[in-house]
Chains A and B, each alone.
Chain A
Amino acid sequence: MNAVASALKGGSHMAGVPHRGFFARHPESFTLVLIVAVSVIVGSINPNFFELSTVFDILRSSTVTGLFALGVLIVLAAGGIDVSFTAIAVLCMYAITKAVLGYWPEAPFIVIIVSGAIIGTLLGACNGYMVHRLKAPSLIVTIGTQYLLRGFLLTFVGTLFFMVIPQSMDNFGRIALFNYRSATGATAILPASVLVLALAAAVTWFLLNRTLMGRAIYAMGGSLAIAERLGYNVRVVHVFAFGYVGLLAGIGGIVHASTIRLASPFDLVGTELDVIAAVILGGARITGGTGTVSGTLLGVILVTLINNVMILAGVPSTWQKVVIGAFILLAGAVFATRGKK
């Protein structure tokens, strides 16, 4: 891969192939091109798109998807896949909300989010341990745990909506980083919850690029056998990678309930494919060993954007799924063939 990339780099001034080399080395730049293209197209159809509130809405909608996607990035880079993170998130969110409302309604937000993080990490680490111990495909293990956790939630924890969430969560969801009043008299708010995503992105970047664990993750994603021979402890890496998804899922669940101000046990599960699509469209390979934080964030923005501009672009509701599906298919196909001559 590197050899190909540098060969292309050398020949990048040759007519006909320059973009191939550039996009192969920086897959996230292709994501950025798509984001700009979608924005220009939608904006030209409907100028209402170019408003500050659009940026706020996209960022707000990206927050939870982004937290999940950063976790998925780590697991994909480590050569695995996880589809149980939404179930972990909804279990943490709903069970903790219920417990707090029942036993300690005035619990501070930090306690709530930390308990979400801890429970999420433990559940994720169980996934990692099972993947390592059973030598089973991580897809199968996490499909199993997704069913298990969600079944547990609906059977033993509860099925009713909480329309009133603990005060501290409600307060957190209402903190505005920035708000303004548009010409039409509607208020647009950028919630402070996007800072959680920014922090998580910084931590994930540091982890992947500046620590030994980051190297171990990419190495294991490249080839499990070689990583083992190089002396990496693959059990620790497995448990860490899946634990990290769990951590971000737990935090994401709490942030989700805080921003939407209701806790529903039927939420989130079913959105995991959107998240995985976002990570792939951000340039990570489903076969492992690659992927960047910046690419993942761009992928999340792209998927959120495409899901939130169909009405503005005037696509009738019957056609929206067709258009979104075709878009992901086309973009995915471009990514799948990148780097090949």
Chain B
Amino acid sequence: MNRKLICSALALAFLGAAGTLYAQGKQQTITTVVKITGIAWFDRMEAGVKEFGTQNAGIKTEQTGPGQADAAQQLRVIEDLIAKKVDALAVVPIDPAALEPVFKKAMSRGIKVVTHEADNQKNTMVDVEAFENAAYGARINDRLAKCMGEAGKWTSFVGSLGMQSHVQWAEGGAANAAKKYPKMQLVDAKTESNNDATKAYEKAKELLRKHPDIKGFQGGSSVDVLGIGRALEEAGLQGKVCVFGTGLPSETAKYLESGAINGIAFWDPKDAGLAMNKIAKLLLDGKTVTDGMDLGIKGYDKVKVTKGPGGGIVVKGQAWVDADKSNYKQYPF
């Protein structure tokens, strides 16, 4: 009997000690959920996520996401994380509307929620944008217009019509052209590529058939320019038709060299990953982001803060990068 008591007491003491140790060593976890794991873009973001983890001892950072860009799968990943009780979620939503209920649930359980590329998200505390989407679209459009000689037919692509940011880039470009370049004519805007280079290729061919005199393409998804570039190269039209859009230096190198893609634009996903995690940490510390604040990250040194569509705020940097044949090699991703 005595022995049993001693055993139980020891076991209890051990448990207690383990509990204290656990509490002392407990790190706060910030989990970043991306649209799709494994592509170069989000691998680069993961570098930022990891860097933030190593810089901040009390924070454990990790990145995850669905194996394919499927809104339902992303939803499941987030539900699992809520069940695991992470401290903060930093999410790049595939379809913001689909995630509203799950974010609401997360916040009601005290989990801090930060989003990226989703300034229409209602249930988020802070949405961080590398830049104003309309301004980014307009900037790409300015480069396209310059290449086209500010005249002729042009068109725009989006990864999917459910992707808010892609739609805003396309519409920002369209508004810019309508305002500044009266001789440019937008045709069959916002073609969907389903984020698939083959589909973008087929759609570009179809557009070339419908408009043999088309002069410019503005890509949305990072694979759009790849499909468009290949279609132009095969038709022997590189140099005659201008192609600008979001793209990755590593993936577009071949076409930038051949001239089938004239220029790409992007923001550094590593910095976006750092910014999301930095903001999540501020929220965990009970602070928030204020207008004009310096997050200590390139392009996010003087952020603009506005009220979001829900209870949260939208934080915008000026973190875009223009690249073409002359300078793409500086960006190793």
Whether, in the assembled complex, B208 has its beta carbon less than 8 Å from a beta carbon of chain A, the answer is yes
How many chain-A residues does the 8 Å CB contact rule pick out?
43
Interface residues of A in 262-310 (CB under 8 A from B): 262, 264-267, 269-270, 307-310
B253 contacts A51, C-beta separation under 8 Å: no
Whether, in the assembled complex, B103 has its beta carbon less than 8 Å from a beta carbon of chain A, the answer is no
Q: Closest A residue to B188 by CB, please name it.
A: A311
Whether, in the assembled complex, A337 has its beta carbon less than 8 Å from a beta carbon of chain B, the answer is no
Whether, in the assembled complex, B205 has its beta carbon less than 8 Å from a beta carbon of chain A, the answer is yes
Task: Give the CA-CA distance A320 to B160 in the complex, in Å.
Answer: 12
Whether, in the assembled complex, A184 has its beta carbon less than 8 Å from a beta carbon of chain B, the answer is yes
> What 1/0 mask marks residues of chain A from 43 to 64 whose CB sits below 8 Å from any chain B CB?
0001011010110010001000
Whether, in the assembled complex, B38 has its beta carbon less than 8 Å from a beta carbon of chain A, the answer is yes
Collect the chain B residues with CB atoms within 8 Å of residue A51's CB. 209
Task: Tell whether A48 pairs with B250 under 8 Å between CB atoms, given A266-B36, A270-B68, A317-B161.
Answer: no
Task: Give the CA-CA distance A54 to B209 in the complex, in Å.
Answer: 8
Task: Give the CA-CA distance A231 to B158 in the complex, in Å.
Answer: 56
A51, A61, A182, A262 — which one has the most chain B CB atoms within 10 A of its CB?
Answer: A262
A53 contacts B161, C-beta separation under 8 Å: no
A154 contacts B192, C-beta separation under 8 Å: no
Collect the chain A residues with CB atoms within 8 Å of residue B188's CB. 311, 314, 317
A161 contacts B251, C-beta separation under 8 Å: yes
A261 contacts B236, C-beta separation under 8 Å: no
> Which interface class (under 10, 10 to 19, 20 to 34, 35 or more) fits B?
35 or more
Q: How far is the CB of B152 from chain A (nearest CB, A)?
A: 14
Q: How far is the CB of A95 from chain B (nearest CB, A)?
A: 15
> What 1/0 mask marks residues of chain B from 66 to 93 whose CB sits below 8 Å from any chain A CB?
0110000000000000000000000000
Collect the chain A residues with CB atoms within 8 Å of residue B251's CB. 161, 163
With beta carbons under 8 angstroms apart, the residue of A150, A159, A270, A308 that contacts B206 is A308
Whether, in the assembled complex, B237 has its beta carbon less than 8 Å from a beta carbon of chain A, the answer is yes
Interface residues of A in 142-162 (CB under 8 A from B): 150-151, 154, 159-161
Q: How far is the CB of B190 from chain A (nearest CB, A)?
A: 5
Whether, in the assembled complex, B196 has its beta carbon less than 8 Å from a beta carbon of chain A, the answer is yes
Q: How far is the CB of B8 from chain A (nearest CB, A)?
A: 44
B234 contacts A189, C-beta separation under 8 Å: yes
B192 contacts A267, C-beta separation under 8 Å: no
With beta carbons under 8 angstroms apart, the residue of A57, A164, A189, A317 that contacts B202 is A57
Task: Tell whether A163 pairs with B201 under 8 Å between CB atoms, given A265-B38, A317-B191.
Answer: no
B234 contacts A187, C-beta separation under 8 Å: yes
Whether, in the assembled complex, B39 has its beta carbon less than 8 Å from a beta carbon of chain A, the answer is yes
A151 contacts B67, C-beta separation under 8 Å: yes
Collect the chain B residues with CB atoms within 8 Å of residue A267's CB. 196-198
B191 contacts A311, C-beta separation under 8 Å: yes
B192 contacts A48, C-beta separation under 8 Å: no
Q: How far is the CB of B217 from chain A (nearest CB, A)?
A: 13
Task: Give the CA-CA distance A59 to B193 in the complex, in Å.
Answer: 20
Whether, in the assembled complex, A188 has its beta carbon less than 8 Å from a beta carbon of chain B, the answer is yes
Task: Give the CA-CA distance A160 to B158 in the complex, in Å.
Answer: 22
Task: Give the CA-CA distance A330 to B278 in the complex, in Å.
Answer: 52
Whether, in the assembled complex, A2 has its beta carbon less than 8 Å from a beta carbon of chain B, the answer is no
Whether, in the assembled complex, A134 has its beta carbon less than 8 Å from a beta carbon of chain B, the answer is no
Task: Give the CA-CA distance A57 to B202 in the complex, in Å.
Answer: 8
Task: Tell whether A312 pairs with B210 under 8 Å between CB atoms, given A264-B197, A317-B192.
Answer: yes
Whether, in the assembled complex, A211 has its beta carbon less than 8 Å from a beta carbon of chain B, the answer is no
B39 contacts A154, C-beta separation under 8 Å: no
Whether, in the assembled complex, A260 has its beta carbon less than 8 Å from a beta carbon of chain B, the answer is yes
Collect the chain A residues with CB atoms within 8 Å of residue B209's CB. 48-49, 51, 53-54, 57, 312
Sample of 16 further A-B pairs with CB below 8 A, known A187-B234, A320-B192: A51-B209, A54-B209, A57-B202, A61-B202, A154-B37, A154-B38, A159-B38, A161-B250, A184-B213, A186-B237, A188-B235, A260-B197, A260-B230, A267-B198, A270-B68, A317-B158
- Name B residues whose Cβ lies closer than 8 Å to a Cβ of A: 36-40, 43, 67-68, 158, 161, 188-192, 196-198, 201-203, 205-210, 212-213, 226, 230, 234-237, 240, 250-251, 253-254
Q: List 18 A-B contacts (CB under 8 A).
A: A48-B210, A53-B209, A57-B202, A57-B209, A160-B38, A163-B251, A184-B212, A185-B236, A186-B236, A187-B236, A260-B230, A265-B38, A307-B202, A308-B206, A312-B206, A317-B158, A317-B189, A317-B190
Q: Which 10 A-B pairs have the closest CB atoms?
A: A159-B38, A184-B212, A186-B235, A187-B236, A311-B206, A317-B190, A312-B210, A48-B209, A317-B192, A163-B254
